[in-house]
Structures are given as C-alpha cells and as structure tokens.
Structure 1
Amino acid sequence: MSMFPPDQPGTASQEDVQSNKWIAAAAYILFFLPLLAAKESRFAMYHGNQGLVLLLTSIAANVVLGLIPLLGLLLVPLANLALLVLAIIGIMNAINGTMKPLPLIGNVRIIKVP
C-alpha cells in the first residue's frame, strides 16, 4: 500500500519514490536523465522538470547579469551561489522522497509529469 495516493497532483506512490529516488536526485545535475531512464515515473519526471527550470534560470541569470558592467562582477557569483543552494534543496527533496517545489522558481512546469 502506498503512502501517497498516485492520483493526486504533487504526489507519487511510495514504490515510485523508492525505485526512482536516485534518478530524481541526479536530475538536478542532468535534467534529461528521467526522460531517458524513468519516463513513466511521476516522481522522477517532477524532479526532472525542477532540474530543467533550475538550468534555464541559471543560464538566464548568468547571461543577464553578465551584461551589467562592474555590478555584474558581484551579482553573477551571488546568483550562482543562490542557484547552488536551490540545487542542494532539490537534491535533498528528491533523496527524502518529497515533491516540494523549489523556492521562487519551483512552480514553473515545462515537462509534463505523468
């Protein structure tokens, strides 16, 4: 019997969580891993989406802040530190078996979660 009803949004079955926990954690480094290895997993695809949003935010922050002369030299490292903290939060959520959105950017949906 699963702890989480699989028909509710934001939840996954306990079996899904246990079998795809490490794929979900790795999604914050390689967001496409769940697309290749766990396409049917609601849990892994959720964290794959979070990893993709984090990657796109990182690219956007580095490009936009990098265009600002002088002030960008201070803001880019601060933004990268904040993004690293978000990645660690996401990895910890995946390892702990939770589907909590990342602060500030976690409610963006790009990848369809089954």
Structure 2
Amino acid sequence: MEEEKQQTPATPATAETKKPNDNMIMGIISYLSFLCFIPLFTKKDNEFVYFHAKQGLVLFILEIIVYVLSRILVGIFIGSLTGWTLLSVFSVIINLLNLGLLVLSIIGIINVVQNQKKELPLVGKFAHKIKI
C-alpha cells in the first residue's frame, strides 16, 4: 500500500503587511481638497491628524483663491481681441499654480504615509496660525 503523505497547511508569509491605521487614512484625506474638513473636525484631539488637516485646509483655501482668480480673469479678458492673448498667458500661470498645489498635496500625503509631521513649503507657516 502507498504511504499517505501528510500535508501541512500553508502558513501565511512571515512578512507583515502594514495596514494603514485610522490616523493615516485621516491624514491622507486631509490633503484631498474639501475633504480636509472631515479630519479637521473629527480628529481634533489627534495632534498628527490635526497638523495635516490644517495644512490641507490652507491648500484648499489656496485652491479656491486660484479658481476665483481664474474665473475673474476669464470674465475680464474674454471680450477683447487682446484678451485672448493675455488669457492664454494667465491660463498657463493658473495651470502652473494648480500643478504646484497638486505637488504640495502629494508631498503632504507622502509625509503622512511616512508618519512625519513636516511643514509643507509656503503652506506650513500659515497652517500654524490656524486655531479651530
């Protein structure tokens, strides 16, 4: 008769998979535009999340300013012939500003994932002044 071989159940890999915790998720949400209000008001007692939520709020305010500025410029320059040229120049500037805000958001998310409380360039000093 054939010998029956005992099979041992497969064990999961010993390498731990790092699951994101609630603070990390809330920190990431802080840099997603208007969603910054969720961690700002729900995680006020958590210093790490609150730090990133305030920076996210400053970025959101800057996004609103850039958007309003772009709408005003479109309204001003849309009617004239020279306006199209100026509007093209301002469109490039507005797009670069939006790109800069996106890069700052990505840097903020990277800081959250690395569990760091680093001030974002140009934004961090304003975030410190926010008291909610």
TM-score band by shorter chain is: 0.7 to 0.9
- SS at 2:60 equivalent: helix
Structure with more relative contact order (C-alpha pairs < 8 Å, separation 6 or more): 1
Q: Which amino acid aligns with 2:23?
A: N
Question: Displacement of 1:74 after TM fit?
Answer: 1.4
Q: What is the identity, as a one-letter code, of the residue corresponding to 2:26?
A: I
Aligned-partner SS, 1:28: coil
> In the alignment, what sits opposite 2:49?
44
What residue is the counterpart of 1:21 in the other structure?
Answer: 24
Q: Which letter does structure 2 place at the counterpart of 1:21?
A: M
Task: Identify the match of residue 64 of structure 2 among 46, 59, 62.
Answer: 59
TM normalised by structure 1 equals 0.73
Kept in 2, the 8 Å contact 1:66–1:73? The answer is no
Specify every segment of 5 or more residues in structure 2 that has no aligned partner in the other structure, as ranges. 1-20, 78-86
Higher normalized helix content (fraction of residues): 2
Q: What value does the CA root-mean-square deviation take over the aligned residues?
A: 2.0
Structure 1 residue 35 and structure 2 residue 40: aligned? yes
Structure 1 counterpart of 2:131: 112
Q: Could you tell me the TM-score, scaled by structure 2's length? A: 0.64
Of the two, which has the highest radius of gyration? 2
| From 75, 92, 98, the counterpart of 1:74 | 92
CA distance in 1 between partners of 2:43 and 2:123 (Å): 23
TM superposition shift of 1:107: 1.0
Contact 1:65 1:75 in 2 (8 A): no
